[in-house]
Amino acid sequence: MLVVDVFTQVLLPILLMFGAGWALDRIWKVDLATVVRLTINLFVPAFVFYELTTKQMEGTLAWKAVGFTICMVIVLFVIAGVVAKLSGYTRARTRSLQIASGFYNSANYGIPLMHLVFPGLAEAVQVFVILVQNIGNFTLGVFLVSSASNPGLRALLPILRQPSVWAVIVALAVRGILGPLTPDLSGGMRWLWVPLQYFHDGLVALALVTLGVQLSRTAARSALPGLGWALVLRLIAGPLVGWGLATLFAFEGEIYLAMILGTAFPTAVNTALIAHEFKADSEYATGAVFWSTMFSMVTVTTLIVILKSAGG
C-alpha cells in the first residue's frame, strides 16, 4: 500500500502537470522563453518573498536544517565537479551536472511526500530546506550556470539582476521591522498581499507546466545514456551524503530519518529553467529533472521502506 500511496499522492500529480505542459506545446507550440522568464522573474520571487515573510523561523532546529542543507549543496557540488573533471565534461555540462546534483525538488515533490511519510514537525522543518534550496538556486546556481559562458567576475552580474535575490533582501528587511507577517499585519496592504498569495500558490503548477514544455522539445530517451552520473549523484550519493550529515548535525528520531529522506528527492525543476535561461546545457538539465523524477519512484520508495524499518 505504501508504494501505491507514494505513486498516487506524490508522483502522479507531478506527472499530470508535466503532461499538461507537454500536450500544450505539442498542440500550440508554446513560447518557451516567455514562460521561463515569467516563472523566474515573477512567480519565483513572489514565492520566496511570501515564504520568508510568513514562516516562523525560531529555534535551533530551523538553523540546523539550514546549515544541513547548505552543506548538502556544497558537498554534492564538489563531488559533481570532480566527476565532471574526470569524465572530460565541457564547462556547460559540468555546471548542469552540479546544479542537477546539488539542488533537489524539496517543494512540490518534498512537501507532499513528507506529509505522507513523516507528518508533523518533520514536515514543518522541510520549509527551511525549501528556502535554502530556492535561494541557492537563484544565487549559486545562477552563478555556476552563467559562468559557463561568462567566466570570471562577469558571472556575478546575472545574480544581481535576479529578482529572487532582491526578494530575499526585501523580505528579510520586512521581517526585521515587522516580524513574521500575519493576515492582520498584511490586511492594510491587501492590494499587494492578495496578488503575492496568488503568485506564490501558482508557482508549482506553472513551473511544472513549463518543464513539460521543455520536455516536449527534448529527446529524453536519447539523453538518458549521458545522464548516468547525474542520476547516481542525485538519487544514490545524495541520501548517502545526507545520512552522514544528518549524523554529524545530531538530528534525532523522526527528524533524523526525514532529513535523510529529503536528500533523495529528484532534481529541482528550477535547475532546468535556469539552464535554459542562461544558455547552459539545458537539454542535459531537463533530462536530469525528468529521469530523476521517474527513477525516484523506485529509489525514494526503497529508501522509505529502509527508513521506516530502521525507525521502527
Across 243-264, average pLDDT? 94
Report domain 2-39+58-160+205-311's class. mainly alpha
Per-chain mean pLDDT for the chain: 82
Q: How far is CA 107 from CA 2, 58, 110, 224, 270, in A?
A: 21, 20, 5, 25, 11
Q: Which residues contact 12 (CB under 8 A, 6 or more apart)?
A: none
Question: Higher pLDDT residue, 217 or 26?
Answer: 26
**Tens digit of each residue's pLDDT (9 = 90 or more) over 43-79:** 888 887 887 788 775 568 878 998 999 999 999 999 9
Could you give the percent of the chain with pLDDT greater than 70? 84
Grid coordinates given for 222? 536519447
Closest CA to 269 of 227, 209, 216, 224: 209
Gap between the Cα atoms of 131 and 208, Å rounded: 18
Gap between the Cα atoms of 96 and 245, Å rounded: 24
Three-state DSSP at 179 gives coil
**Tens digit of each residue's pLDDT (9 = 90 or more) over 95-111:** 888 889 999 988 778 87
Instruction: Please tell me the predicted confidence (pLDDT) of residue 125.
Output: 80
CB 139 within 8 A of CB 162: yes
Range with top average pLDDT, 34-43, 125-134, 173-182, 266-275: 34-43
Confidence of residue 87 (pLDDT cuts 50, 70, 90): very high
Grid coordinates given for 191? 492590494
Across 67-94, average pLDDT? 92
* Total count of residues recorded for the chain: 312
In this predicted structure, the answer to whether residue 302 has a pLDDT above a threshold of 60 is: yes
In this predicted structure, the answer to whether residue 85 has a pLDDT above a threshold of 80 is: yes
Confidence of residue 279 (pLDDT cuts 50, 70, 90): low
Gap between the Cα atoms of 179 and 174, Å rounded: 7
Q: Cell numbers 533582501 label which residue? A: 169
Confidence of residue 225 (pLDDT cuts 50, 70, 90): confident
**Tens digit of each residue's pLDDT (9 = 90 or more) over 132-185:** 887 777 777 677 666 655 555 555 555 566 777 788 788 878 877 877 777 665
- For residue 55, what is the DSSP state? S
Instruction: Please tell me the predicted confidence (pLDDT) of residue 28.
Output: 92
Confidence of residue 275 (pLDDT cuts 50, 70, 90): confident
